[in-house]
Amino acid sequence: MQSPAGLRSRRQAIARSWDLARAAVLIPAGLPVPIPGSDQFHDFHAHPEFTYLAGARTPGACLAFDPAEGWVLFAPVPSLEDRVWVGDGEDLEALAGATGLPVRPLPGLRAWLEHRRGEALAILGNDDITYRPAGYGIESWAALELDVDHSLSTRLGEQVAESRRSKDPSEVALMRAAADASRGGHLLALRTALPGMSERQLQIELEAEFFRHGAERTAYGSIVGTGSNGAVLHFSPTARQLRNGELVLIDAGAEWEGYASDVTRTFPASTRFEGIHRDLYQLVLDVQQSAIATVRPGVEYRDLHLAASAHIAAGLVDLGILRGDPAGLVERDAHALFFPHGLGHMLGLATHDAGGCLKGRTPSDRFGLKWLRADLPLQPGYVVTIEPGIYFIRALLTAPARREQYRDAVDWDRVDTLLDAGGIRIEDDVLVTETGADVLSGAIPKSIPEIEALRAEAHSR
């Protein structure tokens, strides 16, 4: 829970950074999206810019700002029909108390906007107000005769993204709570998964444990891949059952008051990591731990990614999968055949949080860099994921053009024997401190002895 005083000072700081003489700013939370053919809605997720600035996640609410009058929150007042079908919603007075904002009933928003006709208008948050205005009590957006200033919206949005990068202590507390709930789920999976259980069963058990630990939602669709499915980076769980000799990769995180955790663990179906799985797991773990040990203010995230890529390339050379000098292999992006994604991303009110790329930097189109989602120097208060992986992705490893391009860089006969080996990823949530790193998800076991002890527990039940 964030304090109303803290939220007020956050909004004051943002307003100062905007430095607006005259303008109107709207930050809609977004409207629930109906599910066709039912009287219900998709799971509602308030826009993170709204949550950040309002300190609330009220569906259909709209935060508004004007430099002369300051901030005001317009909140929906439920109709009789809403109250019958959905419930009473949030009490406006309670909302004012929790957010430190003046709160007015949503029908006042139209008049607020009419008074600002002719002024520059910026829209942050969910812009559904322009194409679903009725949801905000406005009959027609066009009839308001407002011109949205898109470049102003971009500038103000960038300033909010910049401010969101560094988490304040109240945000860190929520992210710790999210990571603790994730710990419960991952521990349960490590302790109970057995051959014969389906990906779906694992997902259900893990998510139930998140909720039992107090989480309100999962931060993103849980990824559970057994065997070769573990090589699909964002695999949605199916009825496929875990088999002996395979690995299972679980990338799942609990959400706490809108704040995400994002955690991946990979473990054997049996009680032990065997053969190449053991070597590759230890390599990914070493890469992850060296990257975490390097985290400190001033370090460029892109350099962490490139160092991890070189570490993976060197390990794959030692294991006889890649051939050549690791630095040269990374220059040619050969490591990306096995580690195609970035080392991680910013984390916060979104799983891939705002502000990951420093202004003026554009994503590279290089095979080894194009999925890097963070490119900035780290600063205290940033929370980033560190998530190296090694995968045997058929689509990449059987493409004739890639085989030709990397003919000399890969032992392709060896790779052909590993096409069903799946994937390994280890992912933690890392807070940058003044002197180094604090791993928010660090209590979730990942060393080989810890994981094997938990797997032995599962098999002894």
Binds 220: which of ligand GLY, Mn ion, none (CB < 5-8 Å by kind): ligand GLY
The distance of closest approach from Cβ of residue 345 to Mn ion in the complex, given in angstroms and rounded to an integer, is 6
Q: Give me the least distance between CB of 351 and ligand GLY, in Å please.
A: 6
- 367-386 residues in contact with Mn ion (CB under 5 A) are 385
Nearer to Mn ion, 353 or 427 (CB): 427
Kindly give the pairing relationship between strand 24-28 and strand 121-123: parallel
Pick one of 58, 99, 351, 441: the residue that binds ligand GLY (CB under 6 A). Answer: 351
Determine the size of the site formed for ligand GLY (CB under 6 A): 6
Residue with tokens 């309002």: 54
CA–CA dist 43, 205 (Å, integer)? 20
Tokens of 408: 């000399």
Q: Nearest-CA neighbor of 339 among 265, 429, 423? A: 423
251 binds Mn ion (CB under 5 A): yes
Does the footprint of Mn ion cover residue 203 (CB under 5 A)? no
Q: Which is nearer to ligand GLY, 332 or 352 (CB)?
A: 352
Cβ neighbours, 10 Å, residue 119? 15
Task: Quote the CA–CA distance of 189 and 232 in Å, as a whole number.
Answer: 20
**Closest CB 427 distance from ligand GLY, rounded Å:** 6
Find the binding residues for ligand GLY in span 239-268 (CB under 6 A): 251, 262
Nearer to Mn ion by Cβ, of 266 and 385: the residue is 385
Q: Of 251 and 255, which CB lies nearer to Mn ion in the complex structure?
A: 251
Within residues 136-195, the interface with Mn ion by CB under 5 A covers none
**Does 353 engage in binding with ligand GLY (CB under 6 A)?**
no
Min CB(429)–ligand GLY separation in Å: 10
Cα–Cα distances in angstroms (integers) from residue 76 to residues 6, 73, 79, 387, in the given order? 24, 10, 9, 40
Residue (of 246, 286, 241) closest to 266 by Cα position: 246
**Of the two residues 53 and 347, which places its CB atom closer to ligand GLY in the complex?**
347
Compare residues 233 and 307 and give the one whose CB is closer to ligand GLY: 233
Report the nearest approach of ligand GLY to the CB of residue 352 (Å): 6
CB of 397 to Mn ion, least distance (A): 22
Residue 220, interface with ligand GLY (CB under 6 A)?
A: yes
Per rule CB under 6 A, is residue 203 in the interface with ligand GLY? no
Q: Which is nearer to ligand GLY, 100 or 344 (CB)?
A: 344
In whole angstroms, how close is the CB of 217 to ligand GLY at the nearest point?
A: 14
How far is Cα 347 from Cα 350, in angstroms, rounded to an integer? 6
- With CB under 5 A as the contact rule, the residue among 246, 257, 262, 333 that binds Mn ion is 262
Give ∠ CA 266-271-277 in degrees, rounded to 5. Answer: 50
Binding mask 384-403 for ligand GLY (x = CB under 6 A): ---x----------------
Q: How far is the CB of 221 from ligand GLY (least distance, A)?
A: 8
**Shortest CA distance to 14 belongs to which of 130, 97, 62, 6?**
6
Q: Which does 255 bind (CB under 5 to 8 A by kind): Mn ion, ligand GLY, none?
A: none
- CA–CA distance, 108 with 208 (Å, rounded to integer): 41
Q: Cβ 163 to ligand GLY, closest distance in Å?
A: 23
Fill in the DSSP letter of residue 444: S
CA dist 103 to 53, 124, 455, Å?
A: 14, 19, 52
| 8 Å CB contact between 429 and 383 | yes
**What's the rounded Cα separation, in Å, for the pair 412 and 321?**
8
Burial class (CB in 10 A: 0-12, 13-18, 19+), 127: middle
**Sign, Cα dihedral of 34, 36, 223, 311:** negative
Q: Which does 66 bind (CB under 5 to 8 A by kind): Mn ion, ligand GLY, none?
A: none
Side-chain-side CA neighbours of 326 within 13 Å: the count stands at: 15
Distance CA 211, CA 413 (A): 46
Beta carbon nearer to ligand GLY, 171 or 387: 387
The tokens 């053009």 sit on which residue? 401
In 3D space, the residue among 383, 288, 401, 296 whose CA is nearest the CA of residue 345 turns out to be 383
Q: Least CB distance from residue 240 to ligand GLY, whole Å?
A: 20
Query: Residues interacting with Mn ion, by CB under 5 A?
Result: 251, 262, 385, 427
Residues engaged in binding ligand GLY (CB under 6 A): 220, 251, 262, 351, 387, 427
